[in-house]
Structure 1
Amino acid sequence: MSETDDLVEIEQLLARYAVAMTRGDVEEVLTVFTADGNYSAFGDTYPLDEFPALIAAAPKGLFLVGTPVIELAGDSATGTQPLCFVEHSEHRMRIGYYNDTYTRTAEGWRLRTRAMTFIRRSGDHDSGRPHAFERTRS
């Protein structure tokens, strides 16, 4: 594959994530990650087995993402993608960006890690306050 092919494949992967999150399709969201992938936000890191419960506890709405900046390095890559989330019932917004790592797998490119950084009205950039999500880990 050419570098352009890799970039397009990763961009489509991220588009599938945003559309699936907007539609509430948790199963599709999980397909964009590697089996050992994780998501970080709200002061914590969540493995994929906790992701469905995390999504269920989160507000619903539109995940509007911008074109990512991606740095390819063979079968891995890093990237940053801007995000504007608009909650559906009151149209409140959260803005920020994702910092990602990607891995080429036998099935194609996948997200390995996705970490959310919020941009506050003050201009601060941070990973957020703990989410109203109670973990059931033992």
Structure 2
Amino acid sequence: MSRSDDLLEIQQVLARYAVNITKGDIPGLLAVFTPDGTYSAFGDAYSVELFPELVAAAPKGLFLTGTPALEIDGDTATGTQPLCFVDHSTHDMRIGYYTDTLIRTDDGWRLRTRRMTFIRRNGDHDSGIPHAFERSRT
């Protein structure tokens, strides 16, 4: 597989993340992660088994992502992707970026980790304020 093929496939995996979470498609969202994948925000890392509950507790809206900056090294990759989330009921926005690790699997590229960083109005970049999601994280 060429570097261009890898870049395109990874971009499609990340696009499916944004589209599936926007649509509330949990099976589609889970499919972009490895079975041991995690999502980190609010000071915690959450395993894929907790995604249905985590997504159910989160605000709903549009996940608008930009083109990721990617570094590919064989069967692993790292990247950063900008994000603008727009709440569906208020149209309030949150901005930030994802920091990712990916791995090539037998089923193609998949996210192993995705970490959210919020950009605050004061310019701070942080992982968010811990919230009420109380299940075990990993």
User: How does the TM-score come out when normalised to structure 2?
Assistant: 0.97
Report the AA paired with residue 118 of structure 1. Answer: F
Distance in structure 2 (CA, Å) of the matches to 1:34 and 1:132: 26
Residue 27 of structure 1: aligned partner = 27
The gaps in structure 1 that reach 5 residues or longer are none
Report the AA paired with residue 58 of structure 2. Answer: A
CA deviation vs aligned residue, 1:90-126 (integer Å, no higher than 9, x gap): 0011100000000000000000000000000000000
The CA RMSD measured in Å over matched residues stands at 0.9
Task: Find runs of 4+ consecutive structure 1 residues off by over 3 angstroms.
Answer: none
Determine what percentage of the aligned residue pairs are the same residue: 71
Cα 1:2–1:52 shift into 2, 3 Å? same
- SS at structure 2 position matched to 1:89: coil
State how 1:80-99 maps to structure 2 within 5 Å. 80-99=80-99
Report the AA paired with residue 5 of structure 1. Answer: D
Distance in structure 2 (CA, Å) of the matches to 1:52 and 1:79: 25
User: How does the TM-score come out when normalised to structure 1?
Assistant: 0.97
Residue 69 of structure 2: aligned partner = 69
**Aligned-residue offset at 1:136:** 5.5
Residue 131 of structure 2: aligned partner = 131
Report the AA paired with residue 60 of structure 2. Answer: K
Residue 10 of structure 2: aligned partner = 10
**Aligned-residue offset at 1:132:** 2.2
Name the count of aligned residue pairs.
137
